[in-house]
Amino acid sequence: MRRLIRAVLLIRDGGFASAIAGPTEILRMAGVAPRVLAGRPSRPWFRVTVASPIGTAVACTGGLSIQAEAKLSDLSAPDLVLVSSAGIAGLARGEEPAVEDGAVEWLRAAHDAGAVVAGVCSGVFLMGRAGLLDGRRSTTHWAYADHLRRAFPLTDVRPANMVVEDGRVITGGGVHAATDLALHLVERFCGRDEARDLANALVLDLPRAAQSEYAGWLGSASHGDDAVARVQRAIAERPEAVDGVDALAASVAISPRSLARRFRAATGETVVECIQRLRVAKARELLEEQRLSVDVVARRVGYEDVAFFRRLFRKYTGLTPTGHRQRFGRPRASAASTAGL
């Protein structure tokens, strides 16, 4: 019989109950749900313990509470730690989630002992406090990306990604990215086939590549650089009409090199990446609202090279343009409805 993978789900006040219950069920059902549905004996992969810093229940956003099964300090080093979201209301006001006594030290010690440490949404901030994001790529809820960059400048924040794995540190996007993260962990520890079978048994999609499908403007003008903010607004207003970095720099009376440096420092992305991302955002709207061909959409957002546009669209969304339309576009009106029947 294989050894169970010891997993600790770290829960704290102010997160979403779904970001606790969902991953707990997914990990506990690995090796169970697919086999039971096929009429075979269950063979669980994980032993999951839900723990809070002081071993008591946590209050979740929306009025629910979840009881911890253990106190964090009572647990020995596990194979896997999953840090749930916390302090959502405060983050919306620009306040970092509170850090409970001992949580940072325990998390750092678990990683030092060889554990894989994963976190979702605002839970990623606790990983940053433990020093686990330094020099690594990471993601979080797209709305908190700038806050994460400012709090932990040594991490390379990728807000478009749903899940980012960098060695034994794995981060997930906003709220229900907890499902994607949990399935990603099943795949990492148990293999692709097990993750696919579990997703089918629980009627879930396999981990999505991007959360930019659910976000609009992923940038922020709260960085305090007026010239960069003006360039951001110019790009956002008509991304398809932007005539390169030189023209943008001239519009705010600074050199292209200075704009490139200041833009990256203020936003965490290059000017070109911002232009590309917002062109893709406009393309998404056209694909969702109109029945234009992909070639026409590409030209409407500033790309004559349709093959390049298709690659770029997939890079930022995880889907092809056609796949995006099928998933998010308005359905065609039926013949009966157009005839008023």
Q: Where are the domains of the chain?
A: 5-214, 226-328
d(CA 303, CA 270): 19
Tell me the per-residue pLDDT of 123-156, one tens digit each, with 9 for 90 and over.
999 999 999 999 999 999 988 888 899 899 999 9
Tokens matching residue 200: 């089918």
pLDDT of residue 334: 47
Whether 189 and 181 have beta carbons less than 8 Å apart is answered as no
pLDDT of residue 335: 42
Tokens matching residue 175: 């709220």
- Window from 51-55, 126-130, 337-341 with minimum mean pLDDT: 337-341
pLDDT of residue 126: 96
Res. 336 pLDDT band, cuts 50 70 90: very low
pTM score of the predicted model: 0.71
When mean pLDDT is compared over 229-238, 265-274, 300-309, the highest value belongs to 300-309
The DSSP call for residue 153 is T
pLDDT at 17 over 90: yes
d(CA 298, CA 313): 10
Tokens matching residue 264: 């990256």
pLDDT at 265 over 90: no
Res. 266 pLDDT band, cuts 50 70 90: confident
E strand intervals along 256-341: none
Q: Which residue has the higher pLDDT, 91 or 3?
A: 3
pLDDT of residue 212: 59
pLDDT of residue 241: 92
pLDDT of residue 281: 85
- CATH class name, domain 226-328: mainly alpha
pLDDT at 318 over 70: yes
**Hey, is 139 helix, strand or coil?**
coil
d(CA 196, CA 10): 25
Mean pLDDT of 310-338: 76
pLDDT of residue 5: 97
CATH architecture of 5-214: 3-Layer(aba) Sandwich (3.40)
pLDDT of residue 337: 43
Please report, rounded to a whole number, the percentage of residues in the chain having pLDDT higher than 90: 66
Tell me the per-residue pLDDT of 210-249, one tens digit each, with 9 for 90 and over.
675 555 544 555 677 899 989 998 998 899 999 889 999 9
d(CA 312, CA 320): 9
Q: Which of 237, 168, 170 is nearest to 158 (CA)?
A: 170
pLDDT of residue 221: 58
| CA geometry: angle 197, 201, 202, nearest 5 deg | 120
pLDDT of residue 89: 78
Say whether 226-328 and 5-214 share the same fold.
no
Res. 161 pLDDT band, cuts 50 70 90: confident
